[in-house]
Structure 1
Amino acid sequence: MRGLTADLQRFTRKATRKAPSKATLTERYSTIRRYSEYVCEPLATEDYVVQPSADVSPPKWHLAHTTWFFEEFILARYYKNYTRFHPQYSFLFNSYYESVGTHVLRADRGNLSRPTVEEIFQYRGYVDEHMHWLLRDFPAEALPILEIGFNHEQQHQELLYTDIKFILGHNPLFPAYRKEIKETPHNETDHDFISISDGRYTIGHRGSGFSYDNERAAHTVLLKAFSIRKSLVTNGEYMQFMQAGGYQRPEYWLSDGWAWVKEEHITSPMYWHFTDGTWCRYALSGLERVNPEEPVTHVSFYEAAAFATWKGMRLPTEEEWEAAAPQLPWGLRWEHTNSAYLPYPGYEKPDGALGEYNEKFMINTMVLRGASAVTPENHSRKTYRNFFYPHLRWQFNGIRLCKK
């Protein structure tokens, strides 16, 4: 389920290192770009345009936006006499980079019946052709941007999975995306807790491998001793919370979370349906019975925090999660933490438009750590900081508990 078909090599973010071979750059670029199109292969043309929520982008838009990134930040700057595929695509497919120019509002992306899906694939082909020419003699100073472009496209590959699931999972026909796909390649069976001793821990990215700016600077934190569970909370455990009236008892909920439950009439994880006396859920493979042994997913931070309170436990902070990560099995679900998304001590915002990549979102969101079953291979590391608003549930996220 997880990953690209090739073992993608990591590149340093520093332009001063020895440049990778042309063949390596071209192969890596082609592999990543092809995988985005592979993710979309099962879709009908109509599926590419749907936007059932402001938080979900149409698959067509993802394919175009990732292409725009390479055109805007690499070809337009480093390809001599480059001619853009279309003069309006910079407006249509810019996501939120205000310093680059205006853009279509996120909630309006589904209103773009034109350009057509066929034209988007033509756009991808045009940019890929020019990128392949440039990669033959790629400028060393552009290597950091190229690396961000690779990782940016991999981010959108995961978003393609989550957005496609939202699109198909809210269709009353519950069409399968790929029947053979496994959202949970394996279940975790060791539900014991491990003890992490108190002491000083280095948090954040170190070394020469790639990282986003929000993973830096590495810094030392002092942690008290704590106990954290080896496994994620299962569907069966979450059902017990539901059966105990978890969604009806305000004492378990943060104030904002309780308001959200009442306003949105939330009674179960996203994609769960109670049918003929049985809980079923929509998966990428289609509608199926809820497996009690699988880790629960598609729950918000509000739900994760309420569950932890009901259990008499708590969520880990992101620093605790990172300190414990070397001793934990992780990667099935993005894991909620009890940490707000804020800059690290010593954080430096990159210059120019790429400085908008992470810094502008450091408000009102919560950090998730790890990876999920749909995270591309070699796109996860223990320092990776994912972040979403506390009510959002469409990501493949889950719950890990700490003892109080």
Structure 2
Amino acid sequence: MDLAHSLSAAGRSRSLSERFRALRSASVSLVSPLSDADATIQSMPDASPAKWHLAHTTWFFETFLLRDHLNGYGLFDERWPYLFNSYYEAEGERHARAARGMLSRPSLDEVLDYRAHVDAAMEGLLERDELADLIALGIAHEEQHQELLLTDIKHALWRNPLGPAYGVLPEGGVDRGLGDQGWIEHPGGIARIGHKGPAFAFDNEGPSHRVLLEPFALSRRLVTNREWDAFIADGGYRTAGLWLSDGWAWVQENAIAAPLYWREGEAFTLGGWRDRDPDAPVTHISHYEADAFATWAGLRLPTEFEWEVAARDSDPSAGVQWDGGAVNPSGTDQLFGDCWQWTRSAYLPYPRFRPAEGAVGEYNGKFMSGQCVLKGASCATPRGHSRATYRNFFQPYQRWQFTGLRLARDL
């Protein structure tokens, strides 16, 4: 299929089987600290209930694999595709996104039964080599929802006046490697961008193509809370000349004066309210805020192409990423991990891009308007999910994800 680039045929079914089972178990572990009420609430239209994430990812496997490729398979509940389809127009009508928190039923236990039913049925497909690309896509899709589940429940718990913790944060001990800013310099020239080869990638990562880069430098580390405090103290949120026009309107209309989850000296984490670490990366900022800070610093955001070229030889599994449990950005000198990094690039199709036919073709292509590209990975990204060619994307005002910035400059 076009949406997921082919894996090597030799041995891929066995590795996919193991990955599928581990993935499905890890998703269930994410809701183990939650009550049925915790898993049902929806704190804003951009977020979804934890229970819905568990059901939607299950619907994906049921709809695109079991329904179409397992003879005699019957839907677990014929009413549920309406509840758990997300945005696939080709799959028919669906429950409104902003009203997902109204789904008090089915219960969390019923959703877990649904997952067990689908997982058992999927055993009949995991060794079928012709389905490996589609199964790999389903795994990558659920990894994205694991991250969304963590960020969505963080937002929901933050809205609770009690500030409850999702779980216990890991102890310190991270070797930050932070010092002077330091720069990764690149001479520019013609660079090959995008995914090419047999390993899995989403369709929006290709086709591979050439771009011309001017000489540039990329900061070796992320911007920190301490640096953001200096931006605030210098009137960063009150100086119109630092902001894009849409960003300044957003600041004024929403009375924005600090990153999301900040209050005096503290930040809300998945471990509850904590003293804010001045040397940790600043997170939960919008593209508007990232761009304004870069302007204030006399620098700029990198393009997605600059970031990809600079990260090409870096280990995408390094840094602070999700390995299970509660997470929090700690700060290292890695290009991957801690937080997704805003770029100045609009999320647009690459030359010769064509979405796949059918419903799965709606996965990425139809969102290529009005969004910005982010690169890297966050502390909530399942380790091993990202790569240099990976293109995350959000609207410029959104900041409930673990989003931060890395500065760039011209040479």
Q: State yes or no: 1:226 paired with 2:216.
A: yes
**Distance across 2 between alignment mates of 1:287 and 1:39:** 20
3-state DSSP class of the match of 1:313? coil
* Counterpart for residue 374 of structure 1: 380
Summarize the Cα distance change of 1:73–1:186 in structure 2 as closer, same or farther, 3 Å threshold: farther
1:334–1:397 Cα contact (<8 Å) kept: yes
1:66–1:153 Cα contact (<8 Å) kept: yes
Normalising by the residue count of structure 1, what TM-score does the alignment of the two structures yield? 0.92
Q: What is the letter of the counterpart of residue 285 of structure 1?
A: G
What is the number of residues matched between the two proteins?
386
The 5 A counterparts of 1:265-304 are 265-274=255-264, 279-304=265-290
The range that moved more, 27-36 or 382-391, is: 27-36
* Counterpart for residue 260 of structure 1: 250
1:187–1:295 Cα contact (<8 Å) kept: no
Which digits, 9 at most, give the CA deviation of each residue in 1:320-349, with x for residues without a partner? 111111466222210000000000012121
Segments of 5+ residues of structure 2 without an aligned counterpart are 315-333
* Counterpart for residue 408 of structure 2: 402
- The Cα shift of 1:181 comes to 3.5
Q: State yes or no: 1:181 paired with 2:167.
A: no
- The Cα shift of 1:177 comes to 1.2
* Counterpart for residue 13 of structure 1: 5
* Counterpart for residue 302 of structure 2: 316
* Counterpart for residue 208 of structure 1: 198
The 5 A counterparts of 1:3-402 are 13-14=5-6, 17-18=9-10, 20-22=12-14, 24-135=15-126, 138-181=127-170, 185-190=174-179, 191-274=181-264, 279-326=265-312, 329-330=334-335, 331-402=337-408
3-state DSSP class of the match of 1:367? strand
- The Cα shift of 1:87 comes to 0.3
* Counterpart for residue 6 of structure 1: none
- The Cα shift of 1:118 comes to 1.1
**Distance across 1 between alignment mates of 2:243 and 2:177:** 27
**Distance across 2 between alignment mates of 1:316 and 1:393:** 18
**Distance across 1 between alignment mates of 2:70 and 2:197:** 31
Which digits, 9 at most, give the CA deviation of each residue in 1:90-126, with x for residues without a partner? 1110000000111111101111111111110111111
**Distance across 2 between alignment mates of 1:377 and 1:142:** 24
The range that moved more, 328-337 or 243-252, is: 328-337
Which digits, 9 at most, give the CA deviation of each residue in 1:246-269, with x for residues without a partner? 111111111100111111111100
Summarize the Cα distance change of 1:188–1:174 in structure 2 as closer, same or farther, 3 Å threshold: farther
- The Cα shift of 1:283 comes to 0.8
After superposing on structure 2, the runs of 4+ consecutive aligned residues of structure 1 that deviate more than 6 Å are: none
- The Cα shift of 1:39 comes to 1.3
The Cα RMSD (Å) is 1.7
Q: What is the letter of the counterpart of residue 222 of structure 1?
A: L
**Distance across 2 between alignment mates of 1:248 and 1:256:** 15
- The Cα shift of 1:15 comes to 7.1
Normalising by the residue count of structure 2, what TM-score does the alignment of the two structures yield? 0.91
Q: What is the letter of the counterpart of residue 153 of structure 1?
A: E
**Distance across 2 between alignment mates of 1:90 and 1:371:** 31
Q: What is the letter of the counterpart of residue 384 of structure 1?
A: Y
Q: What is the letter of the counterpart of residue 152 of structure 1?
A: H
1:181–1:284 Cα contact (<8 Å) kept: no
3-state DSSP class of the match of 1:30? helix
Q: What is the letter of the counterpart of residue 218 of structure 1?
A: S
Task: Give aligned-pair identity as a percent.
Answer: 47
3-state DSSP class of the match of 2:211? strand
Which digits, 9 at most, give the CA deviation of each residue in 1:185-228, with x for residues without a partner? 55340421221102111110121100000000011111010121
3-state DSSP class of the match of 2:237? coil
Summarize the Cα distance change of 1:188–1:393 in structure 2 as closer, same or farther, 3 Å threshold: farther
2:338–2:378 Cα contact (<8 Å) kept: yes
2:301–2:344 Cα contact (<8 Å) kept: yes
3-state DSSP class of the match of 1:221? strand
1:257–1:302 Cα contact (<8 Å) kept: yes
**Distance across 2 between alignment mates of 1:344 and 1:398:** 24
Summarize the Cα distance change of 1:52–1:183 in structure 2 as closer, same or farther, 3 Å threshold: farther
* Counterpart for residue 5 of structure 1: none
1:91–1:103 Cα contact (<8 Å) kept: yes
1:15–1:140 Cα contact (<8 Å) kept: no
- The Cα shift of 1:237 comes to 0.2
**Distance across 2 between alignment mates of 1:76 and 1:192:** 53
**Distance across 1 between alignment mates of 2:52 and 2:390:** 25
Q: What is the letter of the counterpart of residue 387 of structure 1?
A: F
**Distance across 1 between alignment mates of 2:398 and 2:303:** 19
